[in-house]
Amino acid sequence: DAGVIQSPRHEVTEMGQEVTLRCKPISGHDYLFWYRQTMMRGLELLIYFNNNVPIDDSGMPEDRFSAKMPNASFSTLKIQPSEPRDSAVYFCASRTTADTQYFGPGTRLTVL
């Protein structure tokens, strides 16, 4: 298995632009998680899905952030409009009902 796949690996954009981050979980995993990692705040859970349904989005910082999971093999995290304080590394992770999460390599987002 290729593991969790994220794209793009790096994204540089200007303030106000829309940003879409993509994730393909490991096949057969029914939980998907989005995290954000910054030096100041460490690793934060943004949202997670179970069987494509959002279960807890309390970590989503504000309405500019949205996440979807249209099917079991794909999820997106969208930021619109983006702001410089959104600059971070965004990780996607997946797991089965067993509790080990497997992380993707991350997307490093820079908003100028």
Partner 1 sequence: AQSVTQLDSHVSVSEGTPVLLRCNYSSSYSPSLFWYVQHPNKGLQLLLKYTSAATLVKGINGFEAEFKKSETSFHLTKPSAHMSDAAEYFCVVVFGNQFYFGTGTSLTVIP
Tell whether residue 50 is a contact of partner 1 (CB under 8 A). Answer: yes
The residue type at 20: T
Peptide bond connecting 61 to the previous residue in cis, omega within 30 degrees of 0: no
Q: Is 55 in the site for partner 1 (CB under 8 A)?
A: yes
* CA atoms of 7 and 23, how far apart (whole Å): 7
By the rule CB under 8 A, 103 interacts with partner 1: yes
Contact 110, 21 (CB under 8 A): no
Please tell me whether residue 72 binds partner 1 under the rule CB under 8 A.
no
Position 94: which residue type? S
Distance CA 13, CA 95 (A): 31
Residue from 45, 66, 72, 76 binding partner 1 (CB under 8 A) = 45
Instruction: Determine which residue in the list 91, 94, 109, 111 makes contact with partner 1, applying CB under 8 A.
Output: 91
With binding defined as CB under 8 A, does residue 99 bind partner 1? Answer: yes
CB of 46 to partner 1, least distance (A): 12
CA 64/CA 71 separation, integer angstroms:
22
Question: For partner 1, which stretch binds (CB under 8 A), given 22-30, 44-52, 63-71, 76-84?
Answer: 44-52
* DSSP-derived 3-state class of residue 21: strand
Binding site residues, partner 1, CB under 8 A:
4, 31, 33, 42-43, 45, 48, 50, 55-56, 91, 93, 99-106, 108
